[in-house]
Amino acid sequence: MNVSYRSLRLWQRNRDVFFKLWRSEVPGFFAEPIMMLLAMGFGLGTYVALDDGERYVEFIAPGIIAAYAMFSASFECTYGSFMRMKHQKTYDSIIATPLSIDDVSAGEILWGATRSLITACVILVVVAAFGLVDSPWAVLVLPLGVLTGLMFSSIALFFTSVAPSIYSFNYYFTLFITPMFFVSGVFFPVSAFPDAMQHLTWIAPLTPVADLARTMVSGQLGEGNWWGLGIILGYTGVFFPLSLVMMKRRLLR
């Protein structure tokens, strides 16, 4: 691997573009999670009774932070990266400068992680404004958002490196991202599943994220499934180098 500080240059480029065009990002990553919180939490939630008497909106708030952190990184490093790579040929111009292909890939992943962090920040503020945060430990969801972003950006960029066309991402989202949104403990506890299925849901990378986010927002750190961090780091440890290798194979001809 040939990653250097220069991956920061690609990160800066993406940051500049984001802050130029941020208005187009508002509906997907800021308005939608808030609508989700209102509709599911305050709407549907009034009909849902949880075992321990917790309000449903309090239950899903950390789940929504986790899920939208996932979506932000995933969109950025699939559609976003693919557009830059294939349609805009931005990478072609950049690899003729002192940046290496690995710098470009690492920069994309870092930026994807930053998008997750920004999303987590915004939703955390909204959730806090609704009075749904019980503990100052909730700020830990920000570093968790970064780790989540690194993981999902790495997985997404790996998929991008093998995607034949931009339409391929329909499969990625329909068969991988959306199912996780529903089974990883965002909307209902994974304990609702039969035992065998519960173990399976922990394979999904979103499950440890939703679980830890809930631990942090509730402030009950002692009861957290901290080994979930191992799952997150494990996926990142596999997919970060893999995506770099595969992007190089795709771009270096």
Partner 1 sequence: MPIIQIRGAVKVFGSITAVAGVDLDIDRGECFGLLGPNGAGKTSLVRMIVGVSPMSRGSIVIDGKDITREPRTIKADLGVVPQEDNLDPDLNVVENLTTFARYFDIPGGEARHRAMDNLRLFELQDRQKAKVEDLSGGMKRRLLIARALTNRPKLLVLDEPTVGLDPQTKHLVWRKLRTLKAQGTTLLLCTQNMDEASFLCDRLAVMNEGRIVALDSPSELLSKHGGSQVIEVRVRDTEKKASVLSLMSERGLQWQEMEEAIYLFQGDGQVLDEGLASELLVVNQHVPTLEDVFLKLTGRSLKEP
Smallest gap from Cβ 93 to partner 1, in A, equals 4
Q: What HEC string does 111-171 produce?
A: HHHHHHHHHHHHHHHHHHHCCCCCCHHHHHHHHHHHHHHHHHHHHHHHHHHHCCCHHHHHH
Question: Least CB distance from residue 138 to partner 1, whole Å?
Answer: 34
Quick check: 92 binds partner 1 (CB under 8 A)? yes
67 interacts with partner 1 by CB under 8 A? no
Q: Which stretch, 94-102, 130-138, 142-150, 212-220, contacts partner 1 (CB under 8 A)?
A: 94-102
Under rule CB under 8 A, residue 22 binds partner 1: no
Q: Which is nearer to partner 1, 83 or 221 (CB)?
A: 83
Contact 112/191 with Cβ under 8 angstroms? no
> Using the rule CB under 8 A, which residue among 35, 43, 49, 89 binds partner 1?
89
Query: Residues in contact with partner 1, total (CB under 8 A)?
Result: 23
Helix-helix angle 101-129:7-20, to 10 degrees:
40
User: What does the alpha-carbon distance between residue 188 and residue 41 come to, in Å, rounded to a whole number?
Assistant: 12
Q: Does 48 bind partner 1 (CB under 8 A)?
A: no
Packing angle between helix 101-129 and helix 56-75, nearest 10 degrees? Answer: 160
Binding residues (CB under 8 A) for partner 1: these are 4, 6, 9, 12-13, 16-17, 20-21, 88-90, 92-100, 252-253
